[in-house]
Structure 1
Amino acid sequence: MGSLTEKIRKRIKDKKASIGIIGMGYVGIPLGLEFAINGFTVIGFDRDATRV
């Protein structure tokens, strides 16, 4: 398990990867919510602070 790709795949499989989403609009919010519901840590960014 030496390659970076394998390490990333393992982190995703184990749900230890953090997911970053830029833009908390019509796509970003539901996408982030689904990742969070499925056990991932989600970090959202939007230039409008009221959306985050």
Structure 2
Amino acid sequence: MLVREAALRVMAPSVYDLAPQSWARHRLIRMRTDRLRAAAEIILRLEPPRRYWPPGP
């Protein structure tokens, strides 16, 4: 559940996307968030649906 929340938070646009302070910094953060977003998409795809989790008797 925590991992899913973190992944969804990463999917949301960041403050730096809206107001970059400098172009180099903006590009660096964009690269980093793109990698995090890709990882988040993979995590959300791998995680089983909420209603089947946790597995019960």
TM-score (norm. length: structure 2): 0.34
Higher strand share: 1
Greater relative CO (CA pairs within 8 A, separation 6+): 2
TM-score, normalised with respect to structure 1 = 0.36
Name the larger-Rg structure: 2
